[in-house]
Amino acid sequence: MIKLSYALYELKPLVTPSALAYLDPRPGALLKVEWNNGRTGYADVHPWPELGDPNMEEQLAFLRKGKISALIEQAMWFAQRDAACRKLKKSLFNGSSPLRNNYIMGNVSGVTMEKLDEIKASGFQTIKVKVGHDLEEEVKFLNKVGGTGKFMIRLDFNALANWQVFESFMSALDKKVLSYIEYIEDPIPFDREAWKEAKRFGKIAIDHQITRFKWDMVHDPPFDVVIIKPARQDVDKTVKFAMHWGLRMTVTSSMDHPVGALHAYSVAQDLAEKHPNIMNEPGCMTQDLYRMNPYAAMIETQGPYIVKCPTTGVGFDQLLAQETWNPVTFR
Ligand code: MG
C-alpha cells in the first residue's frame, strides 16, 4: 500500500513564459508518496493545459481514482528516486561538477545589449528564445544579437507556426545568425515531410511534438535532437530511441515548481555522466521565470550553474515538512 498526499501551489510568472501562456498564476501540486516500507519521496505535478495536459483538477481526480496520467506516472518515478536517496540520507545529485544550463528568454521584448552582456559575463553560452510573441521583433532581435557569436541559440516555436510563417521567419534571418543556431525546437506541428524540409535552416529538435510522432525503429526520424522532459516522458525509453538513431539529447525542466526543476536537473546529471557524448547543455534553470518563492530561494546558483542543491533527496526538507498535506482518498 502507498499513501499519497498533495499540497497545491501557484507559480506567478514574471514574464509570459511562452507565447502559449499568460501571466496568470500557474497551479500545480507537490506530491508526497509514502510507501509501507517506511520510505517517503516527493515530486511535482505541474500540468500545461495549453499543451494538452489534463488540468490540475483533472490530475487530482485521476489520483483519487487511482488513474495514471503521463505526469503522475513520471511524478511517481521521481518520488521513488527521491525516496531511495532520503532513505540513505544522501543527496539525489551526484557529486559531478555542475552542468551549464541554457538561458531562457521567454520574451525578447525589452532585452537590451547591456542585459545580454550581463548574461554572457555570468557564464551563459546558450540562449533559448521562445518564438511567437512578436515575430517581427524577434527577427530584429536575432539579427542584432544572433550573429555576434556571443551565444549559441536555441529557437523554440512550440509548433505555433505554420510552414509559411516558419519559412518566412527563418528566411528573414541573416546567414550568420543561422550558423549560430544550435537547433530549432518544434518548428511547426509534426509532419514528417515538412520537418525534413525544415532541416535546410538548421538542426531540428523535437519536444512536445513527440506526442504526435510514431516511435519507430525503422524509419529515420526527421529531427536531430530530442528534448527530454523527465516530468513528462519515460527517460529510459527516450534515451534508447535517441541512441538507436544517433540523436543528441537535451534535458529540460517543465517550467515547473523548483522540486520538479531539480528532479529534472538530477536526471540531466545522471545522463551527462552515463552518456557524455550525446548530451547537450540542459535547460533546468527555470525558477527565475517566476516570482521568488521560498523553494526557489533555496537553490543556490552562479550564472548558468546550480552550485548547491539542498540536503537529502531532492532537498527542501524543512519546507516540505511545513506544507499542509491533503491526503488523497481513493474513490
Ligand atoms: Mg519546447
- Per-residue pLDDT in tens (0 to 9) along the chain, 331 residues: 899 999 999 999 987 666 666 688 999 999 999 999 999 999 999 999 988 899 999 999 999 999 999 999 999 999 999 999 999 999 998 777 899 999 999 889 889 999 999 999 999 999 999 999 899 999 999 999 988 889 999 999 999 889 999 999 999 999 999 999 999 999 999 999 999 999 999 999 999 999 888 877 778 899 999 999 999 999 999 999 999 999 999 999 999 999 999 999 999 999 999 999 999 999 999 888 899 999 999 999 999 999 876 679 999 999 999 999 999 988 7
Looking up cell 500557474 gives: 26
Q: For residue 154, how far is its CA from the centre of ligand 1 (angstroms)? A: 10
Q: For residue 312, how far is its CA from the centre of ligand 1 (angstroms)? A: 30
Question: What pTM value is reported for the model?
Answer: 0.94
Mapping DSSP onto H, E and C, the string for the chain reads CEEEEEEEEEECECCCCCCCCCCCCEEEEEEEEEECCCCEEEEEECCCHHHCCCCHHHHHHHHHHCCCCHHHHHHHHHHHHHHHHHHCCCECCCCCCCCCCCEEECCCCCCCHHHHHHHHHCCCCEEEEECCCCHHHHHHHHHHHHHHCCCEEEEECCCCCCHHHHHHHHHCCCHHHHHCEEEEECCCCCCHHHHHHHHHHCCEEECHHHHHCCCCCCCCCCCCEEEECCCCCCHHHHHHHHHHHCCEEEEECCCCCHHHHHHHHHHHHHHHHHCCCCECCCECCCHHHECCCHHHHHCEEECCEEEECCCCECCCHHHHHHCCCEECCCC
Q: Are 177 and 202 in contact (CB under 8 A)?
A: no
CA distance 185 to 165: 15
**For this structure, is 240 an active site residue?**
no
**For this structure, is 90 an active site residue?**
no
Give me the catalytic one of 65, 196, 214, 229. 229
Per the DSSP assignment, residues forming a β-bridge with 34 are 3, 40
Give me the catalytic one of 90, 115, 130, 144. 130
Q: For residue 206, how far is its CA from the centre of ligand 1 (angstroms)? A: 8
Taken in order 161, 162, 164, 170, the sign of the CA dihedral is positive
Q: For residue 40, how far is its CA from the centre of ligand 1 (angstroms)? A: 31
